[in-house]
């Protein structure tokens, strides 16, 4: 994914979307994680991210120290 336009122009909002096969996840219980970083619109750029993954991957995420309060 090319983030060049966001790096070159951080005064405007940019949306980056990753495509995925919805059919592959239709029968799987998923968990959604959302995070943000930055100082916000008053003090500087802000970045938001959202990620979903199968709930049965909780153990692997915790081993990688990527999951705090998973569920």
What pLDDT digit, counting tens, does each position of 16-71 carry? Answer: 887 878 888 889 998 888 888 877 667 777 788 888 888 888 888 788 877 666 55
Distance CA 71, CA 29 (A): 12
- 3-state secondary structure labels for all residues of 36-63: EEECCCCCCCEEEEEEEEEHHHHHHHHH
Domain map of the chain by residue range? 21-71
pTM above threshold 0.85: no
User: What CA–CA distance (Å, rounded) separates 25 from 8?
Assistant: 35
Q: Identify the pLDDT of residue 15.
A: 84
């Amino acid at each position: 994914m090319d983030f060049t336009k966001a790096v070159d122009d951080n005064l405007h909002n940019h949306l980056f979307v990753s495509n995925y096969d919805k059919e592959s996840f239709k029968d799987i219980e998923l968990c959604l994680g959302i995070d943000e970083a930055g100082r916000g619109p008053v003090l500087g750029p802000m970045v938001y991210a959202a990620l979903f993954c199968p709930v049965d991957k909780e153990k692997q995420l915790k081993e990688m120290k990527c999951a705090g309060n998973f569920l």
